[in-house]
Chains A and B, each alone.
Chain A
């Protein structure tokens, strides 16, 4: 079920009141059934994949309680192998087969040696496997007691607001909330609805409108002018941000309406002064997952510059692969690793007062980070490395015309797109440099707040793209 669908609106309007009408003892069951209904709206059979993940990690967690030493380690390995095995089979099998096939063909050997598996990737598989793995890792490290209630554990993996695209939660944050009593709190309800409304605006008014131009240019980049390519690259930065931040806000808001608090996933990333800072503000739940469960165990930055650079490279290579089974994502991850390594080396070579330097270089730093991020997204957005190469070559080739008349003559789409970007930037600038939220929805005067709600709903109905389809991060 998509958050930007009418089906979800009905689902939400049924589930939320039912949650408050259900006695506390049975709320977990209601949420679990609702989450199954939510997920089954995509492909019902894939509930079995989720159940398999739940069974593996619940069993491993329960057995770890009574195990120690090598047996405990073996249980962790079994759990991780189970999760990653499912992920690899569904997400990376065809990628592997395709590459083996090409390698064999390159060697002049028989191709199609291993058959492809014609299957659709279960939506959000990378998200719920990572959330499930965080549970077993926490239990293994002794930082979290194994959950005894299988229903509550299942809900931890399946909680519908964050089931398909995060935020990737940790057991210590989420599981206790299932036991807490959440009485109807009008302020919390209002806060949740405001977040959902702004999230929906970001998705349907901004992201999906930008997608019209971006998709048009990326379909045949070789036909377009340099200005068109630059515009598409800039638009895609905002599209991806609004798409995913919009999703996260709807998820956080939907959970908030029922009294649950999910972790913040975006903190105005376009105001980062370095790529390193960017990754503390973008998809926070994933980057902190990689930091806590991969970067730190690898040694983090404790074993010298060389080891730090290697650890960064490993993390971003895997982060690239996490996003998708395609060489474009590998290249994207390695590009980020390279920039971060360079940033790390520069930081270590620099002396002086870092705080003062950071202040002085803030604006150039923001422009640099945005440019690097936007450029890297050419790899992220392209359907293949060849397409990305075509885009980049066309962008920098001396013969590329700056403007082609009539290249994209739907001026209303461009006006709507720019309007959307201005709205997002105004909101983010207000919050980054001002006091509190710049959105009128949070104004102290009720009349201003109500006007803001009505204006947003009217804009969503009038300017929203309702056939824009699913969220970009669902494919991961």
Chain B
């Protein structure tokens, strides 16, 4: 009897506290969670940038808009891998069809530890509201579909963020259309960003599968996709197992692939004033890079004013 009572109280607590969490989570107007909700529920920009923190810090939507005449939103997210981009794309395509997608790949994006399945937990609050992303989130574990029946589980590790951002959320310190500037240039001696193994180990088939799914989803929805590897502090003239395979897949599917981490990194690599750390450009670097990207895309006849329609 007592066990049943405890079970019942737990069920009510899960529903009650989970409901409160949900209420306060979805009324957030500032902070990281509010930006994720915006991407999942609201944005309708014709150009969307997808990717990890490197996407979030490297692509300035206003420069892309100036170059193309089309609104742009940067949906890149810190610590995320390709599965996050896939989930976001599925959610966006469930709502509207962007004209262009820019997918930023890190040079080691296909390595097994870069899948970012653990970090996908930031999308758990959307599990029930967005059935289209469930298949991606279910890759986190075999029992994810069962665990997400708990409302509390879906808001795991979020209580303080929800409280702080509801109480004190006043702005997003310079975040504009998803772009998060890094204002401080690198103040220390740079060290190697990637290990030899990360650059040479064979790619993970599940991550490559997600990458291929992004390509096929954008093709089937008639969105034009551009895959970009943005600059790193130490250029990678030999490339990496990720960039080589990504380039090959893109070629096979006729998807433009621009790699700024190897031979195309001139002007960026080795310039500490353009980087905030070994993997991330600072704001000055991001301005330079976004302009360079727009110029290169225009030169290839892509992403120019009028090409989107």
Known: A7-B143, A450-B5, A467-B118. A458 touches B160 (CB 8 A): no
Instruction: Please provide the chain A residues from 447 to 465 with a CB less than 8 Å away from any CB of chain B in the complex.
Output: 450, 453-454, 457-458, 461-465
Known: A6-B146, A450-B5, A463-B157. A458 touches B17 (CB 8 A): yes
Q: How large is the interface on B (under 10, 10 to 19, 20 to 34, 35 or more residues)?
A: 20 to 34
B147 and A458 contacting across the interface, CB-CB below 8 Å: no
Give the docked Cα–Cα distance between A7 and B2 (Å): 25
B13 contacts the other chain (CB 8 A):
yes
B199: chain A residues within 8 A (beta carbon): none
A368 contacts the other chain (CB 8 A):
no
A462 and B17 contacting across the interface, CB-CB below 8 Å: yes
B118 and A462 contacting across the interface, CB-CB below 8 Å: no
Contact of B160 among A416, A454, A465 (CB under 8 A): A416
- The interface size of chain A toward B, counting residues with CB under 8 Å, comes to 22
Known: A450-B5, A457-B10. A462 touches B141 (CB 8 A): no
- From DSSP, what is the main secondary structure of chain A's interface residues? helix
- From DSSP, what is the main secondary structure of chain B's interface residues? helix
B10 and A454 contacting across the interface, CB-CB below 8 Å: yes
A223 contacts the other chain (CB 8 A):
yes
Instruction: Please provide the chain B residues from 132 to 174 with a CB less than 8 Å away from any CB of chain A in the complex.
Output: 140-143, 146-147, 150, 152-153, 155-161, 164
B309 contacts the other chain (CB 8 A):
no
A346 contacts the other chain (CB 8 A):
no
A405 to chain B, nearest CB (A): 9
B65 contacts the other chain (CB 8 A):
no
Contact of A454 among B9, B188, B191 (CB under 8 A): B9
B147 and A6 contacting across the interface, CB-CB below 8 Å: yes
B156 and A466 contacting across the interface, CB-CB below 8 Å: yes
Instruction: Please provide the chain A residues from 282 to 299 with a CB less than 8 Å away from any CB of chain B in the complex.
Output: none
Best-buried of B2, B156, B158, B164 by chain A (most CB within 10 Å): B156
B299 contacts the other chain (CB 8 A):
no
Contact of B141 among A6, A446, A458 (CB under 8 A): A6
A461 and B156 contacting across the interface, CB-CB below 8 Å: yes
A412 and B9 contacting across the interface, CB-CB below 8 Å: no
Residue of B nearest to A406 (CB): B184
A454 and B143 contacting across the interface, CB-CB below 8 Å: no
Give the docked Cα–Cα distance between A6 and B184 (Å): 42
B167 to chain A, nearest CB (A): 13
B161 and A461 contacting across the interface, CB-CB below 8 Å: no
A412 to chain B, nearest CB (A): 4
Residue of A nearest to B144 (CB): A6
A457: chain B residues within 8 A (beta carbon): 10, 13
B34 to chain A, nearest CB (A): 15
A415 contacts the other chain (CB 8 A):
yes
Instruction: Please provide the chain A residues from 405 to 464 with a CB less than 8 Å away from any CB of chain B in the complex.
Output: 406, 412, 415-416, 446, 450, 453-454, 457-458, 461-464
A6: chain B residues within 8 A (beta carbon): 141, 143, 146-147
B157: chain A residues within 8 A (beta carbon): 412, 416, 462-463, 465
B156 and A412 contacting across the interface, CB-CB below 8 Å: no
Instruction: Please provide the chain B residues from 77 to 120 with a CB less than 8 Å away from any CB of chain A in the complex.
Output: 117-118
B9: chain A residues within 8 A (beta carbon): 450, 454
B191: chain A residues within 8 A (beta carbon): 220
A454 and B164 contacting across the interface, CB-CB below 8 Å: no
Instruction: Please provide the chain B residues from 217 to 272 with a CB less than 8 Å away from any CB of chain A in the complex.
Output: none
A454: chain B residues within 8 A (beta carbon): 6, 9-10, 13
B121 contacts the other chain (CB 8 A):
yes
Q: A6-B147, A454-B13, A466-B153 are in contact. List 4 more A-B contacts (CB 8 A).
A: A446-B2, A461-B150, A463-B156, A463-B159
Sample (12) of A-B pairs whose CB atoms are under 8 Å apart:
A6-B141, A7-B143, A446-B2, A454-B6, A461-B152, A461-B156, A462-B158, A462-B159, A465-B157, A466-B153, A466-B156, A467-B118
Nearest first, the 7 A-B pairs at minimum CB distance are A467-B118, A461-B152, A6-B143, A412-B160, A454-B9, A462-B152, A461-B153
Which residues in A have some Cβ–Cβ distance to B below 8 Å? Answer: 6-7, 10, 220, 223, 406, 412, 415-416, 446, 450, 453-454, 457-458, 461-467
